[in-house]
Amino acid sequence: MTVTTRFAPSPTGHLHVGNIRAALHNWLWARKSGGRFLLRLDDTDQERSRPEYADAIRADLRWLGLDWDGEERQSGRFALYEERFEALKASGHVYPAYETSQELELRRKILLGRGLPPVYDRAALALTADQIAAYEAEGRRPHWRFRLDHDQPIVWTDLIRGEQRFDPRLLSDPVIRRADGSWLYMLPSVIDDSGMGVTHVLRGEDHVTNTAAQIQMFAALGAPLPHFAHEALLTGSEGKLSKRLGSLGVAHFREIGLEPMALVSMLARLGSSMAIEPFTDPQPLIDSFDFAHFGRAPARFDEGELAHLNQKIVHMLPYAAVADRLPAGMDAAAWDAIRPNLERVDQAGDWWRIVTGPVEAPAPAPEDGDFLHLASTILAELSFDADIWRRLTDRLKAETGRKGKALFLPLRRALTGLDHGPDMGQLLPLIGREEAVRRLSRA
């Protein structure tokens, strides 16, 4: 068996962080298993689906490094759905229902008011031919429901949640087709998972009830049942479901200068028992991915933790990985010097301007004027090489008796205009002798 997973977003909007996590986990499992990861665009909603959203989904996945082995669009599979639907009609697994949405909502409120579960009562199955004719005469068109088998419980072993058991009598027969003929999610998804050879369906726990109904659809179609895994939904840092999570998409993370591997590193293990660590390559995450590591506790997404993880990854990135994003003239030595002070790669330009100048240094303290003049004189005399900072400060220490902050801080302020920053042993060679002497003399 070739392990096959799929990511099936609807191109009716942009991916949010929960979508990204689902896509990533499906990709990780496929890659670990040497299998296939498929992209399926669930675009049955023809009014809301847009080509630009489909393009954005593909671009987001590529930015994250998630490649796919095949792509399908549900809008190109309508003939297949029609064929399977007719077979289910012939076998009695689907039936027409004529209630309006207002009538269904009224029944639902009545049941809830009585303290009963709002389960559809299958009234449509009791309609007479005359009643159906009357509905048709007034212009009603039926929607279609899948008829659940009430004779035995629905049971499966979930790869994350363990054994799951549902009484089908407590579930409404799901609507699979609207009165206008358009498809809802449930049946086309089953037809596609079967036809595309999907072996593992990994999605959020909000789909557990859908899975119970879909298991019977697989059986009705005579299709093999995939393995199911339902992971806990994301919560915000405040510990409850956050509306903000629904608006956090790849565009947001790109705009704030986040490294894609920071998001991948965090989401790969979020909700699992494994430590979230910074990675610059996804292979360790692929190798360690295991459904057994995931539990049912809510997975907390913390943007502050993500920013900290991003900073660690930036500090790990080699020059070759960032060269095309750095300011002109900034070489590997400069990147090594500046990198430890960055939270994001796009901050490198701010530090590079400290090297290239001009620098506005604060006025020195009265007692530091002669010290800086001496420093400029000594620097002009010394041979200028990679060890220049140590030799300069050793000479100044010997001649002035200064040490610690009194020795180093006036020099840093004069050379960079700041009280802190990259290691001066690495920064001074980048500034160069002529510019450094000029800055010290000016101070």
What CATH number did the domain enclosing 230 receive? 3.40.50.620
Number of domains in the chain: 5
Residue 406 in tokens: 């009194």
Instruction: Report yes or no on 361 lying in a domain.
Output: no
**pLDDT tens track, the chain, 443 positions:** 899 999 999 999 999 999 999 999 999 999 999 999 999 999 998 889 999 999 999 999 999 999 999 999 999 999 999 999 999 999 999 999 999 999 999 999 999 999 999 999 999 999 999 999 999 999 999 999 999 999 999 999 999 999 999 999 999 999 999 999 999 999 999 999 999 999 999 999 999 999 999 999 999 999 999 999 999 999 887 666 566 776 788 889 999 999 999 999 999 999 999 999 999 999 999 999 999 999 999 889 999 999 999 999 999 999 999 999 999 999 999 999 999 999 999 999 999 999 998 999 999 999 999 999 999 999 999 999 999 999 999 999 999 999 999 999 999 999 999 999 999 999 999 999 999 999 999 98
Instruction: Report yes or no on 74 lying in a domain.
Output: no
Q: How far apart are CA 68 and CA 250, in angstroms?
A: 18
Q: Which amino acid is at 221?
A: L
Residue 165 in tokens: 């058991």
Residues 347 and 371 in one domain: no
Instruction: Report yes or no on 51 lying in a domain.
Output: yes
Q: What pLDDT is recorded for position 23?
A: 98
Q: How far apart are the first and last CA of the chain?
A: 73
Over residues 46-103, the pLDDT tens digits come to 889 999 999 999 999 999 999 999 999 999 999 999 999 999 999 999 999 999 999 9
Any known ligand binding at 240?
no
Q: What is the CATH number of the domain that holds 298?
A: 1.10.1160.10
Three state DSSP letters for 267-303: HHHCCECCCCCCCCCCHHHHHHCCHHHECCCCEECCH
Residues 43 and 170 in one domain: no
Q: What is the CATH number of the domain that holds 377?
A: 1.10.10.350
Q: What is the CATH number of the domain that holds 149?
A: 3.90.800.10
Residues 199 and 65 in one domain: yes
Provide the whole-model pTM.
0.91
Q: What pLDDT is recorded for position 443?
A: 86
Residues 121 and 63 in one domain: no
Residues 30 and 166 in one domain: no
Cis bond before residue 117 (omega within 30° of 0)? no
Q: How far apart are CA 135 and CA 124, in angstroms?
A: 12
Instruction: Report yes or no on 388 lying in a domain.
Output: yes
C-alpha distances out from residue 315 to 24, 337, 414, Å: 24, 11, 27
Residues 249 and 276 in one domain: yes
Residues 95 and 163 in one domain: yes
Question: How many other CB atoms sit within 10 Å of the CB of residue 292?
Answer: 9
Beta strands in 42-158 (DSSP E): 70-73, 94-97, 143-146, 154-158
Instruction: Report yes or no on 46 lying in a domain.
Output: yes
Instruction: Report yes or no on 37 lying in a domain.
Output: yes
Examine the fold and report which residue of 142, 157, 177 is the final residue of a domain before the chain moves on: 177
Task: Please tell me the chain's helix, strand, coil percentages from 3-state DSSP, rounded to the nearest 5.
Answer: 55, 10, 35
Residues 211 and 65 in one domain: yes
Residues 303 and 349 in one domain: no
Compute the mean pLDDT over every residue in the chain, rounded to the nearest whole number: 95
Q: How far apart are CA 206 and CA 231, in angstroms?
A: 9
Residue with tokens 């800055």: 439
Residues 256 and 331 in one domain: no
Residue range of the domain that includes 223: 4-69+188-234
Q: What pLDDT is recorded for position 242?
A: 60
Instruction: Report yes or no on 328 lying in a domain.
Output: yes
Instruction: Report yes or no on 32 lying in a domain.
Output: yes
Q: What pLDDT is recorded for position 239?
A: 62
Residues 382 and 346 in one domain: no
Over residues 413-425, the pLDDT tens digits come to 999 999 999 999 9
Residues 214 and 303 in one domain: no
